[in-house]
Chains A and B, each alone.
Chain A
Amino acid sequence: MKINPDKCVACGNCTYVCPMGAIYVDPVIKRATIDRDECVECYACFNGLSTENLNPPLVRMVRKILQWGRVRFDPEPDICPTAAFEPDELVWPRTVRRAFSDPRATHESTGVQGRGTEEVKTNDVTGRVKEGEVGFTIEFGRPGVGVWLRDIQEMTWALAKAGVAFEKKNPFTLLMTDVATGTIREDVLGEKVLSAIVEIKVDVARTEEIVRLVHDVEQRVDTVVSLGVGTRCDANGEEHIVAPILERLGYKLERAKTNVGLGRITNPEMSAKPAVEEHEVAAR
């Protein structure tokens, strides 16, 4: 993303809307400026701000006069008065930033918007997490902190060493050069994203072990981690296996996403095939 200096009037509205705090008004050039290292190409500024097309020199002059008179200009806080934001032509590896940060950018690898994964929300048609299994979504950087991809590698290395299976249809798994070791391709390690999800699946008996492993590694990475734990319910819709384990580990289960099982396979080419798919790629 870039800010056109010919249009920017340094009103400062955009400095508040950047989730990474990467926009500031440069006191030397007197224009809003983006710290490219910190910008994750989430497009919150471009997509979220409404725009006017006011004349920039005129707005600057009015602001200067008001400022001289110590009068506070109080415009709407969600408007860029001169439509100064202009998307950059991104090239690899910076494109990774947008793919993982802008929810409207579809992951080419999975065809899914957002974080690029369907996880438990389509489990009724994918069979991704079966009875006796637990799916973990380990999300880094959310909320509003961001994460360097090199930090996530700490976690994928540890998980691979523990022999877990990474979800095959997850965009982050597709950044790995070696799934057996959890190694991520080198050219993206220096990229920062708003958040990314590592997705794994284990036997229910390993739930505690994985929670402890994640907890241990997250102390060494410089960001926040949101952990989601998904599992199947029984025929009566009850779940009395995983919740007690998590509660014993000290977690208070405040919120959940509940799949109510209404989905079915309807695509013509899929209806003819058995509903068995390979979801995970195992580490050594």
Chain B
Amino acid sequence: MTNTLHRFGAAETFDDDFIVFASPSTGRNDVGSIPKLKKFLEMALPYNPVNIGDPVHGGAVRPKRGLNTSANWKRDARPDFRAVIDGINEPASVVAIFDNAKAAGEFLAEVVEADLGLSVNISASVEGAQQCCKMAGIPRHSVGYSLGFEGKTEKLPNTQVLTLSTMCGHGMISASLAKKMIDWVKEGRRTPEEAVTYLTRFCSCGVFNPHRAKHILEEARSRME
């Protein structure tokens, strides 16, 4: 899973994007990992994550089946962190997303202390991750660099769309929907907050950063690309 590695943007644009995740490894430490994964996310909550999730059930804002027509006017868009934690029922990577280095670093320090025995990674700018490690007082073990997109890059959408859509590295947020949301915000048909909620529901593992998305949409509103 490299679904957080190839987010589009320059390093300085990731200053509100810190993804901390815990991963069990199949056959090595997956037995008995479910309570540890839940504990990892429980520990994240006091640091005010902007999203949490797991790849089996999704993030804290999810699509719903069987809505009634009133959903078109009144719909609950609040993140449900409790549902994410309670729903974990198989060993898989869980994520907590923070919009600042301080929260991510302090959370990481608490994770070190808890000694869960699971692999823990930070996906952020290279320097941002180093900053978190320093705050937690631990050295980095391994690092995986993103070299960005190559090949037939002419097939890619514009950078505003790309910045939004690549926040779901699994590709579940389509470029067309990201473009539509930018257009709707520009037209004043929806607020950035509403547009962010629509997009967040399509991310199937919870790595989408709604804080960063709102910022991108607000910026796109006043800038044509």
Which A residues contact B (CB, under 8 angstroms)?
15-19, 21, 42, 44, 47-54, 74-79, 83, 101, 103-104, 110-115, 117-126, 129, 135, 137, 139, 142-145, 194-195, 197, 211, 214-215, 218-219, 221-233, 235-239, 242-243, 246, 251-268, 270
Q: Which of B30-76 contact A (CB under 8 A)?
A: 30-32, 55-56, 63-69, 71-72, 75
B147, B157, B174, B204: which has the most chain A beta carbons within 10 Å?
Answer: B147
Q: Is the CB of A256 within 8 A of B117?
A: no
Least CB distance from A135 to B in Å reads 8
Which B residues contact A (CB, under 8 angstroms)?
1-11, 14, 21, 23, 25-32, 55-56, 63-69, 71-72, 75, 92-93, 108, 111-112, 115-126, 129-130, 133, 136, 138-153, 155-157, 162, 165-166, 169-177, 180-181, 184, 189, 198, 201-202, 204-205
Q: Is the CB of B138 within 8 A of A17?
A: no
Q: Is the CB of B68 within 8 A of A52?
A: yes
Q: Is the CB of B151 within 8 A of A219?
A: yes
Pick the contact of A254: B108, B125, B170 (CB < 8 A). B125
Given contacts A114-B170, A144-B175, A215-B150, contact A260 B165 (CB under 8 A): no
Q: Is the CB of A266 within 8 A of B32?
A: yes
Q: Which residue of B lies closest to A232 (CB)?
A: B142
Q: Is the CB of A233 within 8 A of B155?
A: no
The 9 closest A-B pairs by CB, nearest first: A237-B139, A261-B141, A263-B119, A114-B1, A230-B144, A258-B129, A48-B202, A218-B151, A237-B140
Within 8 Å CB of B147, what residues of A?
A: 211, 226-229, 246, 251, 253
Q: Is the CB of B63 within 8 A of A78?
A: yes
Pick the contact of A262: B30, B120, B169, B181 (CB < 8 A). B120
Q: Is the CB of A42 within 8 A of B171?
A: yes
Within 8 Å CB of B162, what residues of A?
A: 143
CA–CA, A257 and B189, complex, Å: 37
